[in-house]
Structure 1
Amino acid sequence: MSGKVVDNSRRKFLKNSGLVTLSTFLPLSIYACQPGKTSKIRFGLTTDSHYADRNHSGTRYYRDSIAKMNEFVEVMNREKVDFVAHLGDFKDEDLNQEEADTLRYLETLENAYAKFDGPRFHCVGNHDVDSIRKEQFLSHIENTGIDKSKSYYSFDKEGFHFVVLDANYHADGRDQFYKEGADWQDANIPEVEFNWLKQDLEENDLPTIVFCHHPLYEFNKEGAKFHVNDYQRFQQLFEASGKVLAVFHGHVHAEEHTQINGIHYVTQLGMVDYEGLENNSFAIVEIDDQAIHIKGYKRVSNLTLEV
């Protein structure tokens, strides 16, 4: 975890919004034992299910993601969370890379995800546009209350603003399609989306959470680049708004948290990895008056983040 940086303008906004009720910011160890915390919102979060009817490869057990998704939805329904979000790479493809088969895998997993009794949302991941195009992916899923043509969007729930971003673009703004040779390490958010985000943050006066499949901070692993190109200007935009509490990502199949200029950046483990329900991975994120609490299930760790 990076060192803590205080952002006074952001704290002033959060205090005025009602999220922060203490005049003095306490360390997390004190937050954990404070009585009378009031939960503002609770939502379910998972990522990188990569469902396909294919044999496992390395740590990825593609077929197991149906049972894992069913378990995720069952827990979220039992816990009565306000909504669920999937951070991308919802489905995968088999070795033949056939469009019809890929659509079938998508429909099968979406049917399981749709059993959640409430609003549900998706980020677009790079594997979601492998042997099908982005418009095909979007037409076969539901983002509750969102037009099916939209791959990036925002919504409000329980006094919070949520932004979903899409980095599956070439540098010139064209949609990526991996069957036509897109480079998965070349993740871009085009100017039109950046301008939309800037306006969205300006028009919103609520504490904000951002979801994006690709990390919006530098993330390199095993010689590969996982982050969005030009991620720095998105960080600067978040910081200038004074409203963004945290940014959640998938993509890297690794668990990491860093804090940059007062904003939390969190990546989550992939659902597809390792065999059986005992290796499932998902979380409930709860925001109260004092912190963001990530309650991990199975392989996901618990984490409390000061806001």
Structure 2
Amino acid sequence: MLSRRSVLAASAALLAGPAGATTERLRFGVIADPQYAEAPPNLTLNRYYANSLDKMRAAVAVLNAEDLRFVVTLGDIIDRDIASYDKILPIYRMLRHETRFLLGNHDFDVAPEFLGRTAGLLGMEAPSYDFAVGGIRFVVLDGNDVSLFAPPPDDPRRRLAAERLERAKAENRPNAKPWNGSLSDAQFAWLEQRLAAARAENQRVVVLNHYPVAPENPHNLWDANRLTALFANRPHVIAYFNGHNHAGNYAERDGIHYVNFRGMVDTPDSSAFAIVEIVGDRLEIQGFGREPSRSLNLKTA
């Protein structure tokens, strides 16, 4: 008897054209950095934390009117305090689409006893995972893996994070900031394995992470160059989406589109989110609010 997985794999193979291109129209929503908290605004950074609830309600109304396969939030659902999830997650539950999350640095700005609960609150089985939709494999990374804030206080990854940060400072790298992070060797090996699995199944890959890796920026992962070097040698990787840098950013390198989506939390009343469409050799981003629209050509693997 054919399993559901084998039927889905066969359907994806029929839809796939040469070199992993798919003729299926895949549309999904993207939100970055709602960063909600019941707190006064930070006027210096232009962040209005409490206003994100109304911005999320408005975004949900727009996204619910669209035919989408899922909606992903690229981290920093909250700004601080575990109780903030109690206010914003009910708004996410109003989405009629499948909802995907990944973790940002502010998602760990909670009391130490709650650090291990963050992924579970968001319904995530693990901080890093992957899933396939319509011939595209989405690989979700945990850029907080080796950081000064996400691991428990006595975890050796905190010591490793301190060493990596000091090395970055010694090399005068612009991303030598305590609010950035990096991947463990174990997660990097897992990433290599998932990219190999996607290649074997003739799938193109979109990588999702909270932290940018290109172009060079103070917000980048400490190990950004390690990731871009890996992707450059994987012709089926077509895009990398992230948040964290609220101003947004974009680069094309080795035929890969590195898109930094703008933060929803910024400004008192202007939101930012997007609908992404991938079909054939095109990647279309329809921006809402402060998020720009983009029309991008995709490479063939």
Please state which band the TM-score falls in when normalised by the shorter chain.
0.7 to 0.9
Q: State the superposition RMSD in angstroms.
A: 2.4
Instruction: Indicate conservation of the 8 Å contact 1:166/1:213, yes or no.
Output: yes
Q: Give the distance between the partners of 2:35 and 2:84, measured in 1 at CA.
A: 9
CA contact (8 A) 1:282 1:300 kept: yes
Q: 2:35 aligns with which of 43, 47, 50?
A: 50
Deviations 1:12-43 (A, max 9, x none): x9832233xxxxxxxxxxxxxxxxxx662000
Per-residue CA distance 1:161-184 (angstroms, 9 max, x = gap) = 10111111336997277xx99863
| Aligned partner of residue 55 in structure 1, secondary structure | coil
User: Which sections of structure 2, spanning at least 5 residues, go unmatched?
Assistant: 1-15, 163-176
Residue 18 of structure 1 corresponds to: 21
Q: Counterparts of 1:67 and 1:152 in 2: how far apart (Å)?
A: 29
| Residues 234/14 of structure 1: CA separation in 2 closer, same or farther (3 Å cut) | farther
Contact 1:253-1:268 at 8 Å conserved across structures: yes
Select which of 221, 229, 238 maps to 1:228.
221
Q: Are 1:141 and 2:122 an aligned pair? A: yes
Structure 1 residues 14 and 242: CA distance shift in structure 2, 3 A: farther
How far has the Cα of 1:113 moved from its partner?
1.0
Cα distance change of structure 1 residues 294 and 73 upon mapping to structure 2, 3 Å threshold: same
Aligned match of 2:184:
190
Q: Which amino acid aligns with 2:206?
A: I
Deviations 1:170-226 (A, max 9, x none): 36997277xx99863441111010000000111113111111101122433xxxx21
Q: Which residue of 1 aligns with 2:48?
A: 61
Taking structure 1 as the reference length, the TM-score comes to: 0.77
2:284 pairs with 1:299: no
CA distance 1:128–1:283, shift in 2 (3 Å) = same
Distance (Å, rounded) in 2 between the aligned partners of 1:171 and 1:112: 29
Per the alignment, in what secondary structure is the counterpart of residue 80 of structure 1?
A: coil
Instruction: Tell me the equivalent position of 1:240.
Output: 233
Aligned partners of 1:286 and 1:294 also within 8 Å? yes
Structure-2-length-normalised TM-score: 0.79
Paired position in structure 1 for 2:7: none
Amino acid of the structure 1 residue aligned with 2:189? N
Contact 2:24 2:134 in 1 (8 A): no
Give CA deviations for 1:81-138 in whole Å, capped at 9, x if unaligned: 1100001111012xxxxxxxx2221121111112111211112100001124442211
Unpaired segments ≥5 residues, structure 1 = 1-12, 20-37, 94-101
In structure 2, C-alpha distance between the alignment counterparts of 1:172 and 1:68, rounded to whole Å: 30
Aligned to 2:145: 169
- Which residue identity does 1:136 align to in structure 2? R
What CA distance in whole angstroms lies between the structure 2 residues aligned with 1:18 and 1:131?
Answer: 42
Q: Mapping of 1:59-208 within 5 angstroms?
A: 59-93=46-80, 102-132=81-111, 133-143=114-124, 147=125, 150-170=126-146, 175=151, 184-204=178-198, 205=201, 206-208=203-205
Give 2:206's match in structure 1, choosing from 204, 209, 213.
209
Change (3 A) 1:258 1:82: same
